[in-house]
Structure formats: structure tokens, C-alpha cells
Amino acid sequence: DSGVTQTPKHLITATGQRVTLRCSPRSGDLSVYWYQQSLDQGLQFLIQYYNGEERAKGNILERFSAQQFPDLHSELNLSSLELGDSALYFCASSVQGMAGELFFGEGSRLTVL
Amino acid sequence: AQKVTQAQTEISVVEKEDVTLDCVYETRDTTYYLFWYKQPPSGELVFLIRRNSFDEQNEISGRYSWNFQKSTSSFNFTITASQVVDSAVYFCALSEARDFGNEKLTFGTGTRLTIIP
């Protein structure tokens, strides 16, 4: 158990809809990262927040947005969903200063029909 | 730009055989970190090892060992006496860690390892 909690574990929705994925980082971790894992794109970095502020942005679509709240949990919002958005979305958190040692949640598997 | 290449897409070996997973990376930075993660069939990503660019000592942890060679930009992972539980997808990753608090990872495409009983 990594200590990172993601909900929901599975989500099935239709094209055009909007969903929110939630992540609670490990206690004390200030950084939250979102990754997308799909068959064709592999593991892609989406976005990072550090103590409530956006820190780095990767291959995140404009239809997607995220935020980190004062209690450090984070939400990833996916809107106007397309079939190609079907993927496993991982949240990870990191120990401050320990470069790259990310602890991943179990992921949220999104299926868009 | 940083890049991680895992040329082996899939590997199958018979149980108890040794197997090496290859990882080649590209980065312009002199300070960076290399990682291996394991993704078992259950789907979660499990951290295995972290190595910084200044430490080229090989590391052994039980049946696992890692060979870091800066000269060839490689960070290979060997499993000795493989077991069925080792079946998983293994990812090599790189972090340039330029900024404090910015530690995003660039992953390779992964190697699917199947251990045949």
C-alpha cells in the first residue's frame, strides 16, 4: 500500500460527459502528479501541483484541468470526453526533495463508451 | 529533451532463468535520477529503485540487481532465478530534477515480462 488513495477505481461514462477523479496523497507529501496510461501513448505525465500551486505541465489536453486543495488532495477534471480518453489515470505523490521517488495510487480506470 | 528507451517490448523466460531488462536514456543534464517501477497485473505501479547520476555503483537487492553505466547511458535491470511472481510490466524512468519540488518522471514504454512455470 503506497499510501496514495484514488477514487473511483473504475468509471464508465459516455462521450461528451464530464468526470472528476480524486486523489489523496501520502500524509506529508506536498506534490501531486497526474499521469495517464493508455495502450498507444504509454505513461504520460499530465500535470503536477506543489502545495496548491501548479508546478509543471505535460501533455494535458485543454479539456482536462486539475487543482490541488488546501488539504492537499487533488482532483483531475476531464470534460467533453472522447473515446480516446479511455485510459488508466494515476495519481502520485512525492516526498519533498526526494527527486522522482513517486508513490503511485492504484489508478482510476476510465472507460468512455 | 529527455527520453527513455526500452527496446524490449516483451520477454518470456522459463522460471528460474535469469533475465535482463534493458534501459537506455537520453538527457542533457549532468544531474539526474533513474528509476525502475514494476506494474503487476493488478495495475498499481510499485517503486523498485532510485539511482542518482553520481552513483555508478551497481546495486543488488535479493534476486534483483541493477547495472548503471553512464558511458553507455544505460540502466539495466537483472532478475536472477526468476519466479512466476516476477511477471509484470517493468518501466524504466528518468527525472532531471532541475527544480526543487519539480520531480516529474519520464517513463519508457515498458517491458512486459512473463515467467513461464
Residue B101 confidence class, pLDDT cut points 50, 70, 90: low
Nearest Cα to Cα of residue A85 among A39, A26, A34, A23:
A39
The whole-number average pLDDT for the span A100-110 is 89
Give one DSSP letter per residue of A8-64, joined into a string: -SEEEE-TT--EEEEEEPPTT--EEEEEEEETTTEEEEEEEEETTEEEEE-S--TTE
Burial of B70 (C-beta count, 10 Å sphere; 0-12/13-18/19+) = exposed
Task: Give the nearest partner residue to A56 out of B91, B104, B109, using CB atoms.
Answer: B104
Cβ–Cβ of A100/B43 closer than 8 Å? Answer: no
β-bridge partners, A14: none
Which pLDDT value is given to residue A62? Answer: 95
Which pLDDT value is given to residue B42? Answer: 86
**CA–CA separation, A67 and B52 (whole Å):** 30
Q: Lowest-pLDDT range, A103-107, B54-58, B76-80, B100-104?
A: B100-104
Residue B115 confidence class, pLDDT cut points 50, 70, 90: very high
Residue B21 confidence class, pLDDT cut points 50, 70, 90: very high
Q: How many Cα atoms within 13 Å fall on the side-chain side of residue A71?
A: 5
Nearest chain B residue to A2 by CA distance is B46
Cβ–Cβ of A50/B104 closer than 8 Å? Answer: no
Give yes or no for residue B28 having a pLDDT over 80: yes
The whole-number average pLDDT for the span B74-87 is 96
CB count within 10 Å of CB B13 equals 16
Cβ–Cβ of A2/B44 closer than 8 Å? Answer: yes
Burial of B108 (C-beta count, 10 Å sphere; 0-12/13-18/19+) = buried
Cβ–Cβ of B103/A90 closer than 8 Å? Answer: no
Whether A50 and A59 have beta carbons less than 8 Å apart is answered as no
Q: Please name the amino acid found at residue B3.
A: K
Q: Tell me, yes or no, if B109 comes closer than 8 A to chain A by beta carbon.
A: yes
The whole-number average pLDDT for the span B8-18 is 97
Q: Tell me, yes or no, if B105 comes closer than 8 A to chain A by beta carbon.
A: yes
pLDDT tens by residue, A54-87: 988 888 999 999 999 999 999 999 999 999 999 9
Q: In chain B, which residues have their Cβ closer than 8 Å to the Cβ of A30? A: 101
Residues of B (23-82) whose Cβ lies below 8 Å from A: 33, 35, 37, 42-47, 50, 52
